[in-house]
Structure 1
C-alpha cells in the first residue's frame, strides 16, 4: 500500500478530508476568482455590453465543461474504486481511455464551434447590440476548446488518486496567467473583447502544459503507455454511465442560462442580462469552495467503497455536510451585508447597481442549503449509482428551477422579480428532496453490505 492509499484507507477522516479538500477548495476559489476578475476587467475596460456578451456565451463554456466532466467524473470515480481494489492495470486503461475520449471531444468542439459561432450565440439569446461582443468572444474560446476539456477532465483523475495539490497548481497557473494577460490585452493593447477571450485560452494553455508535465513525472501512479490507449468498450461505457450526472448538471445549467437569457432579454433587456452575468459569477464564487469539498470527499468515499469500509464513508459524509454549510453561510452573510460594494466591483452604472443589489440579495439567500444537495450528488457519483446521480443532477436546475422561472414572473405581475425569487425556492426544495433520497440510498447500501446501523 503506497502513501496515497494509506492516506485514503487509514488516516484520520478530518485530516485526510482537509488534506484533499484544501487544495481542491483553493483551486475552486482560484477558478471562481478568475471568472470574477475576468468580468471586472471586461466591465471596467469594455462596459456593460461586454459583460452581457460574455453572459450570452456562458452556455458554450458550460456545454464544453459538461462534456469534459462527463469523462472526468466517470473516470475519476472508477480510478478511486479500482485503487481501493488494487487493480492498477485497470486504472491505467481507464485513464488512457479517458484521454482518447476527451481528445476527440476537443477537436469536434473546436472545428464545429468556430464554423457556426454566429448562429450559436444568436440561438443563445444575443440581442442586436450584444451579438458582436458574444460572437468575437466565443470564436476565440472555441480555439481553446482543443485542450481545455483535457485540463478539466484530467484534473478529476489527478484528484482521484489523492493528489489534489497538483490539480490545484494547474488551476493557479491558469488564474495568474489570465490576470496578467487580461490587463495587457484589454488595457494596454486595447484589444477589447477579443483580448479578454485570448487571455482566457492562453491561460488554459498554461494549465494544459503543467498537466502534461505531471503525467510524465513520478508523482502519478498512472502509467501512460501505448497499449493502454486501445479503446475498451466496457470501460468507456462505465465512464459515461457514472459521469453522466456531472454532464447533466452542467447541461442543465446551460439550458437554464439559455432560457434565462431569452426571458431576461424580454422582461428587462440588455441590462438584466448583464446583471445576471454578474450574479452568476458571484454565485459561482460561493459554489466553488463547495465543489472543492466534494472533490476532497469523493476519493475517500470511492476508495473506502472499494474496501467496503462503511464507517469511514459515514464519517466523511457528515463532516463534508458540516463544512459545506459553514462555508456557504459565511459567503451569504458577506453577500447580504455588502451587495453594493460587490456589484460595484464589476461596473459603477447606477441603474445596474440599483437593480443588481436587490437581485443579488434575493438570489443568494438560500445558498447555504446547496451544500447538502451537492454532497448528496457527490456521494452517488462516488458509489457509482448512475440513476440516482442523474436524478439529483437535474433536480435543482431542470425539475425545479425551469418551471419556477416560467411560472413566477406571471404570478401577481412579479415580472423580473419572479426570476430572482425562483433561485432561493429551488435551493430549498432541492435540499429537502436530496436529504430524503440520500438517506434511503445510504441505508440500502449498508443493508446490501450486511453492516446496517442506524444513521
Structure 2
C-alpha cells in the first residue's frame, strides 16, 4: 500500500478533507478565475460583441468537456475502487483505456471544429454581425482541445493515486500560462479574440508537458505501460461517468437555450449580459465541483474497503462546506453586484451592465442549492451508481430548468429567464434529498452494493 493509499484508508478525516478537497477546489477555482479574467479582458479591451461571440462558441468546447468528464470521472472512480481492492492490474487497465478514448475523441472533435468552424458557428446561433469572430475563435482554439482534455484526465489520475497536490500544481501552471498569454496577446498585442484563442493553446500545452511524463514511468502506480485497452472496462467507465458528463452536457445545452432566448428577446446585448452572469456562475460551480471532485476519491476508496464511517464522515464535511459556500456566493452577488458586473464591461456598455446587474441578483439564488445537488450526484457516481447520479444531473441541469425557462418567461418576461436556473435547482433539491436519505439509510445498515 502506497503512502497516498494509506492516507485514504486511515488518515484523520479533517486533514484528509483539507488535503483532497482544498486542492480540488483550488484547481477548479483557478480554472474558473481564468474564465472570468478571460471574459473580463475580452469585454473591456475588445467589446461586448466579442464577449457574446465567445459565449456562443463556449458550448462547442463544452461538448468536448462533457465527454472528457464522462471518461475522467468514470476512470477515476473505477481506479479508486480497484486500488481500494488492491487490484492494480484492473486500475491500470481502466487508466489506459480512458486515456486512449480521451485522446481519440477530442482529436476527432478538434479536427471537425477546425474545418467546419463557419458552419458550427452558424448552428450555434451566430448572426452575420458575430459570425466572423465566432468562426475565427473556434478554428484556432480547437487546436487546444486534445491537450486541455488530457490534462484534466491526468489530473484525475493523480488524485486517484492520493496525489492531489501535484494535480493542483498542474492546474495552476496551466491557468497561469493561459492568463499570461491572455495579457500578452489581448492587452499588449491587441489581437482580440484571435489572441484569446492562442492563449488556450499555450495553456493546454504547458499543462500537458508537465503532467504526461509521470505516466511514462513503469515505477508509477498508474502507468501507460502497465495497462491495456479493454472494451468492457471502457463501457463501464462511460456508464459510470455518464451522470457527470450529463451534468456538463446539460449545462452547455442550457447555455445554448439561454443564448437563443436572450438573442430573440434582447439581441446581442442580452447574450453579453448572460455571458457575464454565466462566468460568475462558473466561479461558484468551480468551488462546488472542485470540492466534490476532491472528495470523490476518498468516498470511492473507502466504499471499496466497506468503511461506512469514513464515507459518512467525508459526506458530512462536504455538505457543511458546500452549504456555507452557497450562502457566501449568494451574499457576495447582492452586496457587491456593481463590482462583480463591472469587471466585464467598460462604462460605455450601460445597457448591458443594467441587464446583467438585475439578472445576477435573481440568478444568485441558485447558489444556495447548487452545491448540495452537485454533492448528491457526485456521491452516487463515487460508489458506481451511475443511474441515480444521472437522474439527478438530468433533472437539475435540463429537465426542470428547460420547463422553468419557457414557463417563467411567459409569465414574467426577462426576469423569468433569469429565475429559471434557481427554480430548477430548488425542484431538484427535493429529489436529491429523497434519494440520498434512502441510500444512506441502506449504507448505515452495512449494505455496500457493488455497481462498478
Q: TM-score range by the shorter chain?
A: over 0.9
Task: Give the alignment partner of residue 244 of structure 2, picking from 238, 246, 262.
Answer: 246
Task: State whether residues 97 and 236 of structure 1, in contact with CA within 8 Å, keep that contact through their aligned partners in structure 2.
Answer: yes
Structure 1: 5+ residue runs without aligned partners? none
Counterpart in the other structure of 2:317: 319
Counterpart in the other structure of 1:169: 169
Q: Which moved more, 1:321-330 or 1:152-161?
A: 152-161
Counterpart in the other structure of 2:303: 305
Structure 2: 5+ residue runs without aligned partners? none
Query: Within 5 A, what are the aligned runs for 1:15-164?
Result: 15-164=15-164
Report the 3-state secondary structure (helix = DSSP H, G, I; strand = E; otherwise coil) of the residue aligned with 1:107: helix
What whole-Å deviation, never above 9, does each CA across 1:11-64 have from its counterpart, x for those lacking one? Answer: 111111111111111111100110011011111111001100111011111111
Counterpart in the other structure of 2:429: 431
Report the 3-state secondary structure (helix = DSSP H, G, I; strand = E; otherwise coil) of the residue aligned with 2:146: coil
- Structure 1 length-normalised TM: 0.95
C-alpha displacement at 1:258, in angstroms?
1.2
Task: State whether residues 114 and 139 of structure 2, in contact with CA within 8 Å, keep that contact through their aligned partners in structure 1.
Answer: yes
Counterpart in the other structure of 2:12: 12
**C-alpha distance in 1 between matches for 2:141 and 2:275:** 17
Task: Give the alignment partner of residue 291 of structure 2, picking from 293, 300, 305.
Answer: 293
Report the 3-state secondary structure (helix = DSSP H, G, I; strand = E; otherwise coil) of the residue aligned with 2:241: helix
Report the 3-state secondary structure (helix = DSSP H, G, I; strand = E; otherwise coil) of the residue aligned with 1:190: coil
C-alpha displacement at 1:304, in angstroms?
0.7
**C-alpha distance in 1 between matches for 2:301 and 2:394:** 26
Counterpart in the other structure of 2:343: 345
What whole-Å deviation, never above 9, does each CA across 1:162-190 have from its counterpart, x for those lacking one? Answer: 21111111111111111211111112222
Query: Within 5 A, what are the aligned runs for 1:340-419?
Result: 340-348=338-346, 349-411=349-411, 414-419=412-417
C-alpha displacement at 1:239, in angstroms?
0.6
**C-alpha distance in 2 between matches for 1:389 and 1:58:** 25
Query: Within 5 A, what are the aligned runs for 1:267-286?
Result: 267-286=265-284
**C-alpha distance in 1 between matches for 2:72 and 2:445:** 30
Task: State whether residues 78 and 239 of structure 1, in contact with CA within 8 Å, keep that contact through their aligned partners in structure 2.
Answer: yes
What whole-Å deviation, never above 9, does each CA across 1:56-87 have from its counterpart, x for those lacking one? Answer: 01111111111111110000000111111011
Report the 3-state secondary structure (helix = DSSP H, G, I; strand = E; otherwise coil) of the residue aligned with 1:366: helix
**C-alpha distance in 2 between matches for 1:329 and 1:274:** 26
Task: State whether residues 65 and 152 of structure 1, in contact with CA within 8 Å, keep that contact through their aligned partners in structure 2.
Answer: no
CA-based RMSD of the aligned residues comes to 1.6
Query: Within 5 A, what are the aligned runs for 1:204-243?
Result: 204-216=204-216, 220-225=220-225, 228-229=227-228, 231-243=229-241
Counterpart in the other structure of 1:334: 332
Task: State whether residues 63 and 254 of structure 1, in contact with CA within 8 Å, keep that contact through their aligned partners in structure 2.
Answer: yes
Task: State whether residues 69 and 247 of structure 1, in contact with CA within 8 Å, keep that contact through their aligned partners in structure 2.
Answer: yes
C-alpha displacement at 1:444, in angstroms?
3.1
Report the 3-state secondary structure (helix = DSSP H, G, I; strand = E; otherwise coil) of the residue aligned with 1:389: helix
Count of residues in Structure 1 that have an aligned counterpart in Structure 2: 447
Task: State whether residues 332 and 367 of structure 1, in contact with CA within 8 Å, keep that contact through their aligned partners in structure 2.
Answer: yes
Task: State whether residues 67 and 149 of structure 1, in contact with CA within 8 Å, keep that contact through their aligned partners in structure 2.
Answer: no
Report the 3-state secondary structure (helix = DSSP H, G, I; strand = E; otherwise coil) of the residue aligned with 1:162: coil
Task: State whether residues 106 and 148 of structure 1, in contact with CA within 8 Å, keep that contact through their aligned partners in structure 2.
Answer: no
Task: State whether residues 127 and 270 of structure 1, in contact with CA within 8 Å, keep that contact through their aligned partners in structure 2.
Answer: no
Q: Which moved more, 1:324-333 or 1:385-394?
A: 324-333
C-alpha displacement at 1:272, in angstroms?
0.6
Counterpart in the other structure of 1:256: 254
Task: State whether residues 380 and 389 of structure 2, in contact with CA within 8 Å, keep that contact through their aligned partners in structure 1.
Answer: yes
**C-alpha distance in 2 between matches for 1:357 and 1:235:** 47
C-alpha distance 272-306 of structure 1, shift in aligned 2 (>3 A): same
Report the 3-state secondary structure (helix = DSSP H, G, I; strand = E; otherwise coil) of the residue aligned with 2:341: helix
C-alpha displacement at 1:291, in angstroms?
1.3
**C-alpha distance in 1 between matches for 2:61 and 2:342:** 25
